[in-house]
Amino acid sequence: MTQAAPVATANNTSPAAFPSFTLISSEEIPALGVSIAEYQHIKTGASHYHIASDNPENVFLVALRTVPKDSSGVAHILEHTALCGSEKYPVRDPFFMMIRRSLNSFMNAFTSSDWTAYPFASSNRKDFENLLQVYMDAVFFSRLHPLDFAQEGHRVEFKEPGNPESELEFKGVVFNEMKGAMSSISSQLWHTLCKYLFPSTTYHYNSGGEPEAIPDLSYEQLKSFYQSHYHPSNAIFMTFGDIPAAQHQARFEELGLARFEAIDSHIAVGDEKRYHAPIRVQESYPLPAAENKGDKTHIVVSWLLGKSTQLETLLEAQLLAGVLLDNSASPLLHALETSTLGSSPSPMCGLEDSMREMVFACGLEGSSAAKVDEVEALILDTLREVAANSIAKDNVDAVLHQLELQQREIGGDGYPYGLQLILTALGSATHRGKPIELLNLDPALQALRERAAKPEYIKQLAQALLDNPHRVTLVLSPDENIQTRIEQAEKQRLANIKASLNAEQKQAIIEQVAALAERQAMEEDDSILPKVTLDDVPLDIPALHSEQAKFGSLPYTTYGRGTNGLVYQQLVIALPELGDEELSLLSIYTQVLTELGLGDQDYLQVQARQAQVCGGISAFTTMRGDTNNEQDLKAYLVLSSKALLRNAAAQTQLMRDTLETLRFDECERIQDLVSQLTARRESGITGNGHSLAMTAASAGMSPVAKINEALGGLRGIRHLTSLNKRIADPANLAELAQQLAVIHQKMLGAERQLLIVAEDDRLDALCNELDPLWQDFNATTLSHFKQPEVRECKKEFWIANSQVNFCAKAYPTVPSDHPDAPVLTVLATYMKNGFLHRVIREQGGAYGGGASQDSNIAAFRFYSYRDPRLQDTLSDFDKSIDWMLNTAVSAQGLEEAILGVVSSIDKPGSPAGEAKQDYHSTIFGRSLSQRRRFRQRVLAVNAADLQRVCALYLQNENASVAVLSNAAKAAELSDWLSVQNFSVEQLHTATEGE
């Protein structure tokens, strides 16, 4: 029998432990409205940190310290393989099966550089218990089937199945995932930097796995790593929410811990050997000849700092990094942004404090190897200037203000808020530090303020950085031939393997492939897995209370939410009528809107003012198709900011000044911003390839879809790259500045409304304070933004610098209030669960694949992510339709698909995020009644509905296709692309090519 645990709430917390655990310490954190306690399992030594809160979204995470000693990806492959079946749940895919039978708000697994974590979150108690059972068994009693290792890690197969005379090839989910990940220049930069910054500890290696090293890992090595690392003595449990700690501990004991004894093992990252003098290294990264024009070298200067587990050292590093790099007025970022030695600051700029020893890095991209002396001198001279003259007290206070704001903000819009807190503390727990200190920062921040008030303090921190000899300067230059050499080396390795095989070994490869295919196709008994049902689904979407009023003629809406002393304001401006050229510049306009000077203040003064006043001010456009006709649209410009409540008036004045006194005469600043935006968008291609492919495939479906592609898609990146080159001519730059000014004048004449989110008991006083500041903010309504109807089919092959493929196929469907939209939404999940996941990920080896219905643009999209295949994947998209139409719909599969859709609809966000979402839904015509109607229609979907909409909408003659790949693949498939009427699109051309 499980012993009953005492009940506790965040307001009346009992830190009592279950008998098998002992309480180490506990502490209230008033700034976050939670308490945190540390416990230890008496028998094994496992740690448990519990963050008690009255939040019903409970979070669980179990982490293991994982310290690989090579780049074979053992920790990463183990993370995948551990989730492929366990002692209690000996089915092939319990992790993905549970995703389908759960109401979770988060469910995943992570491999970091020195830990592996298995987190989930759910607001449903039954669901939380179900997931806990599966996760505990997966981590501590994984069966690690050899075929799962072959599927998730790596294997060799003959290219022609069953033909031992054909060539061999490597396959495996992680193998292909890391080929995709390491196509990113940012990833290559970071891992190359770590190789030299950390000559002797685990960070020297790529814990995710280098594609060339992954095939070195044996199944026996994987099992050995599991046995040494996946033990409670090496485990850290972390929980958040309103379930008491002792209740969690009772379940931990029953589900696994009681079966273990302590082991004499101390897995930890040791102290890194320190350099006695700085070093400089040069390496290369692959870049196709078509892209390797001009300066493409990355130069990064980096230091190894002190331990992240020492709170004072950590906060000093965060303060110095903020002082140097927080915004464009910060001395080091200003020097890098305005330097002619490169095109923009490196993506590596900043402090990495998640590892045992911290790294500070800065540098430039778009440079050349010959400029390394000058880049080093620029960085070191800037630091010497800070060490000699320090920083103005207002700027130091602004960084401290940012640290306070980050500490206070309640998140939860990306990851659950509880998981954010847990991940904040996890690094310190991993290195046996004091994680409670990282959550209760107020005392340490106060001490830091006192130290920072001394004029010499920042000077001393800067000088200590200059005096630190463990410094690495990395020069990473493009090489047009390195990718070819990598591919040739892989081919030669495979040829050598084949040459060494005897007939028996060749037959073993063929038999493994057959056994894996049989295993992947097997219908398993998933009834052994726990699940929630539709009976466990909440009855309805809760309403959020809001109120409307006016400041003068400015309408505003308020939401009273638990924001922990922050106020969020968004000024929402109806997009005016714009010409085609103006429309193409919208993404640049929103970028510069909050980055230029205001009135008699230049942009440097404005950046400093922003840091002193708010926790960020940004601008973006938001567009959605009408709920009944995707060819009609609404579009808005949003100016958004957040601030501590005490700064609300200054926040408001900043927002008004940003709109009313923005200046466009800082042409060099505009040029720098365009260059930085271009670099950021280009570097994100391989990490976001599936979304870019879906955006390209959907571009002919509706006006919003076309604009999405033109602004944020592959065409948008190409246009941005071309414009960035063009404005090197001062005349073209001046013309761009003038065009942006014209757009801005149109925005000033458009109708507007305001959103305010703050603590409920502060709203009345806040609105009284803001009333005179917004009172005279009037506008003349101009004609609204309109676009012609769009409906066309496309077939495009986009060439990028990627070792893997991203495939997408899209079909025109219906907008959100059409009765078939909920059915199509369920259909996408049903097809992913029942067919696409198996054929694209498990059998095809892609990192991911599936389908989605986007009712905003009325499009149904198939996609694959980091995919070794191309034509076969496109064929599998078609086969999934045949499967849907010719296979009886599974009642369980249908219920699981409905659960998945409802879970995504009901997913909780942050208090402010939920208010923003409700407000924006409303202004776009997605009223609460419409959203409730959509949800009820989802719950009512039946088997006949699925097959009906599949036959009605997924017709091949209406489909559009987009693929993101590389030049070699385009050359290999040139005949097929021609026959299939694909246009081949280059991201980098001499002209825009539009």
The 10s digit of each residue's pLDDT in 823-834 is 999 999 999 999
Cα 896 from Cα 882, distance rounded (Å): 21
Band of pLDDT at residue 236, cut at 50, 70 and 90? very high
Cα 360 from Cα 337, distance rounded (Å): 18
Structural element, H or E, at residue 62: strand 58-65
Coil vs helix vs strand at 438: helix
- pLDDT of 375 > 90? The answer is yes
C-alpha atoms less than 13 angstroms from C-alpha of 40 in its C-beta half-sphere: 11
Give the residue range(s) of CATH 3.30.830.10 domains in the chain.
72-113+122-231+254-267, 279-418+428-479, 546-774, 795-986
Cα 368 from Cα 660, distance rounded (Å): 41
* Residues constituting the chain: 994
Cα 851 from Cα 831, distance rounded (Å): 7
Question: Alpha-carbon torsion 413, 417, 422, 424, what sign?
Answer: positive
- CATH number for the domain whose boundaries are 546-774: 3.30.830.10
Q: What is the DSSP letter of 847?
A: S
Band of pLDDT at residue 989, cut at 50, 70 and 90? low
- pLDDT of 526 > 90? The answer is no
Coil vs helix vs strand at 928: helix
In this predicted structure, what is the pLDDT of residue 597? 97
Q: What is the DSSP letter of 627?
A: S
Tokens of 201: 């500890």
In this predicted structure, what is the pLDDT of residue 14? 54
Cα 902 from Cα 835, distance rounded (Å): 20
C-alpha atoms less than 13 angstroms from C-alpha of 945 in its C-beta half-sphere: 20
In this predicted structure, what is the pLDDT of residue 524? 82
Average pLDDT, the chain: 93
- The string of pLDDT tens digits covering residues 599-652 is 999 999 999 999 999 998 999 999 999 999 999 999 999 999 999 999 999 999
Name, in order, each residue with C-beta under 8 angstroms of 226's C-beta and a sequence gap of 6 or more: 78, 82, 142, 144
- The string of pLDDT tens digits covering residues 596-610 is 999 999 999 999 999
pLDDT greater at residue 275 or residue 161:
275
- Would you give the distance in Å from CA 635 to the centre of its chain? 25
Band of pLDDT at residue 413, cut at 50, 70 and 90? confident
Average pLDDT estimate for 371-385: 98
In this predicted structure, what is the pLDDT of residue 1? 36
Residue pair 153/77 in contact (Cβ under 8 Å)? The answer is yes
Average pLDDT estimate for 299-305: 98
The class that CATH gives domain 72-113+122-231+254-267 is alpha beta
Cα 398 from Cα 452, distance rounded (Å): 12
User: Which pTM value belongs to this model?
Assistant: 0.91
Question: Beta strand pairing status for 960-965 and 795-799?
Answer: parallel
Cα 848 from Cα 842, distance rounded (Å): 9
Cα 821 from Cα 626, distance rounded (Å): 13
Coil vs helix vs strand at 539: coil
Residue pair 357/307 in contact (Cβ under 8 Å)? The answer is yes
In this predicted structure, what is the pLDDT of residue 782? 66
CATH fold of 795-986, please?
Cytochrome Bc1 Complex; Chain A, domain 1 (3.30.830)
Tokens of 216: 């070195």
- The string of pLDDT tens digits covering residues 587-597 is 999 999 999 99
- The string of pLDDT tens digits covering residues 942-965 is 999 999 999 999 999 999 999 999
- pLDDT of 28 > 70? The answer is yes
Cα 830 from Cα 827, distance rounded (Å): 5
Name, in order, each residue with C-beta under 8 angstroms of 454's C-beta and a sequence gap of 6 or more: none
- pLDDT of 6 > 60? The answer is no
Averaging pLDDT over each range in 18-27, 92-101, 527-536, which range is the top one?
Answer: 18-27
Cα 631 from Cα 701, distance rounded (Å): 9
- pLDDT of 9 > 60? The answer is no
Per CATH, the homologous superfamily of domain 279-418+428-479 is Metalloenzyme, LuxS/M16 peptidase-like (3.30.830.10)
pLDDT greater at residue 539 or residue 500:
500
- The string of pLDDT tens digits covering residues 549-563 is 999 999 999 999 999
- pLDDT of 8 > 50? The answer is no
Coil vs helix vs strand at 285: strand
